[in-house]
A and B are shown apart, each in its own frame.
Chain A
Amino acid sequence: MTTTTADPQRRVDLGVFTALPAALGTGLSSGVGAGVLHAGWLTWGLRASYAQATEYTTTWATTHREFRLRAVGVLQRSLGRGAVGLRLGVGATLLYESRARAQAARLGDAGTGLDTSTWAALPGGELEAFVALPIVGPVGLGLSGGPSLHVFQGSVTPGWLAQLTAVWWP
């Protein structure tokens, strides 16, 4: 009889992602996030996420779509069958902003012509605490969250993020 054991050296995860929008100031950005982790003498990895949020003023409906790309360094230790640790991520957040003028569609083409959109990139990073636990063989759950920072228009804007992911130890 053989049993499948998780390889603690590698980890792949995919799940839901929520965060305070990087440059919107309010709201809840939600989407998906994924990452890979390699544990050697240096535990490192790559993460990516996509999330979007829409907020409204009296004249605009603003949607921010955020693509967060991060290189991460990890401090972790085993805890039973799983692992707990801290994950420091640094990278860029690609932001696609689209603004639709409230009610302008009532004006037909003249109104929709008022809509705007733009791309921007924001340096950013976050420090997350995480826990990853195998449940069925090499597959388990991961939970992480923590504060984040972005550099936006010359100032540092704080935020937060949280992720709940399915984890696979290949």
Chain B
Amino acid sequence: MKHLLPLLLLLVLGCQDKVLGLTDNATPLVHIHVKVTGDLQALRPESTLKETPHLRVALVWGGVYNPDPFCGIYQVLPLDPSATAVAQAGCRDIFGFVPQQVGESVAVAPDGTATIDLINLPNAAVLVGEVTSRVGYASILVFDDRNNNGTLELHRAAQNRNGGGPGGGPGGMQTPDSATPTTLTDFVYGASFISQTQPDQRIAYLEGTFDANNALYGLFYPRTGCATGPTTGFSILSAGGFAPIDGLKALAGVAGDLEDPATCSVKTLDAVIEIPLQATETVRDPACTGGGSTGVIRYSPPSQPGATKQQPQPDLTQPWACMPIHYSPCLLGVPIPGLDCSAFDATSRPALAVAAVPSDCKSTTHYILKGCQNDANCETPDWDFTTAANPPPAWWPCATGVKP
């Protein structure tokens, strides 16, 4: 009897430790094993050498990216040297990985290893498909967490009319060798998935079953040609990459396999993802947001309508080109079923495309003298610099079409 009371107390109080209530001690859903290889010190820009590097890896979920037609055409097809120069300088890789959400991030150990404990499932914003079958892809980014806040800040292209310069986005905008850095931007030194035109290892998350014939999947980082798709839950997909021209054909709806089946693989997360370090200048795009790309060109006026002050003009020391109003598939010069190119005049080039000043993220600004932001041929133009009363700015280098 004398032992009954302590036993009862133990019974009553002993189990309380297992009650967790609202304690957020979430056990990881999965572990992602990473091995970073290479010498960071040799790759660091000179301006950062006085800093203590904080090398980390971050899981970054990819988003849908719709390149505008100018970048889509001139980045791949050598139709016009000046336009190609603008596209090379001012367009991100149209087949590149485009980040949408930054997930978990962990420090890289001195031996180059890191394990990401995934606590949360990707949310619906980064999944493509339907509730019964949807997929998301992520890239593992290796970065120097220069502001040491434990996570990766994505960059975005500058939105100002000069096409670049400091202060354009979270984490600031600066070049790695900037003498006067505005803020300590995180520099990316490697990624498991940089571009579909390069060999990649991507983290896939699939709900339901994967239907390779789903049209949505064919547009979202497609792997057509690979025999097997992602497995339900998490998996690591690998592919060898495809040629840009093949990717352009796929975007245009021309059927064909993109990947060499011999380069494809599907692994469980037990596998280690090896990521070689590379110069940060060569791996900027995976940390640049898509900027809400919609697949259409957004035009800007050469000056603010009604402005009395002198407006800043584009930096014409950067690559620029005078272009037709519509960078449509008609430029390809081949008949495309359902597309009427009879009214298209490739010799008329009243639009100005200017690449942004080199920075964290590439961008191109398109100017027209008359039109609207979303439609150069809108019935009621938001601006019109083609009249005698409101002439084009003196610096305008393209055709003006000014009416006397």
The 5 closest A-B pairs by CB, nearest first: A59-B26, A118-B18, A120-B15, A121-B12, A120-B16
Further 9 A-B residue pairs, CB within 8 A, beyond A62-B20, A62-B22: A24-B21, A59-B120, A60-B24, A62-B21, A103-B121, A104-B29, A107-B233, A110-B29, A120-B15
Measured CA separation A150–B16 after assembly (Å): 12
Measured CA separation A100–B119 after assembly (Å): 14
Measured CA separation A108–B15 after assembly (Å): 29
- Could you give, for residues 103-138 of chain A, a 1 whenever the CB lies within 8 Å of some chain B CB and a 0 otherwise? 110111011001010111111000000000000000
- Which residues of A are interface residues toward B (Cβ below 8 A)? 23-26, 55, 57-60, 62, 64, 92, 95, 97, 99, 101, 103-104, 106-108, 110-111, 114, 116, 118-123, 151-153
B: interface residue count bin: 20 to 34
Q: Chain B residues with Cβ under 8 A from A151's Cβ?
A: 13
- Could you give, for residues 105-125 of chain B, a 1 whenever the CB lies within 8 Å of some chain A CB and a 0 otherwise? 000000000000001110000
| Inter-chain contact B21/A58, CB cutoff 8 Å | no
| Inter-chain contact B207/A106, CB cutoff 8 Å | yes
| Inter-chain contact B24/A58, CB cutoff 8 Å | yes
Q: Binding site of B, secondary structure by majority: helix, strand, loop or mixed? A: loop
| Inter-chain contact A101/B26, CB cutoff 8 Å | yes
Measured CA separation A62–B25 after assembly (Å): 12
Q: Chain A residues with Cβ under 8 A from B24's Cβ?
A: 57-60
| Inter-chain contact A58/B120, CB cutoff 8 Å | yes
- In the assembled complex, the CB of A121 is this many whole angstroms from the nearest CB of chain B, namely 4
Measured CA separation A110–B233 after assembly (Å): 9
B342 at the interface (CB under 8 A from A): no
- Could you give, for residues 5-41 of chain B, a 1 whenever the CB lies within 8 Å of some chain A CB and a 0 otherwise? 0000001110111111110101101000000000000
- In the assembled complex, the CB of B207 is this many whole angstroms from the nearest CB of chain A, namely 5
Most buried by A among B17, B21, B27: B21
| Inter-chain contact A59/B119, CB cutoff 8 Å | yes
Q: Chain A residues with Cβ under 8 A from B26's Cβ?
A: 59-60, 101
Known: A57-B24, A114-B27, A121-B12. A23 touches B233 (CB 8 A): no
- In the assembled complex, the CB of A102 is this many whole angstroms from the nearest CB of chain B, namely 8
| Inter-chain contact B22/A107, CB cutoff 8 Å | no
B280 at the interface (CB under 8 A from A): no
Measured CA separation A131–B17 after assembly (Å): 38
| Inter-chain contact B11/A121, CB cutoff 8 Å | yes
Contact of A25 among B16, B21, B232 (CB under 8 A): B21
- In the assembled complex, the CB of A111 is this many whole angstroms from the nearest CB of chain B, namely 7
| Inter-chain contact A114/B19, CB cutoff 8 Å | no
- In the assembled complex, the CB of A155 is this many whole angstroms from the nearest CB of chain B, namely 10
Q: Which residue of B lies closest to A116 (CB)?
A: B20
Q: Chain A residues with Cβ under 8 A from B17's Cβ?
A: 153
Known: A114-B27, A123-B12. A107 touches B121 (CB 8 A): yes
Most buried by A among B11, B13, B17, B27: B13
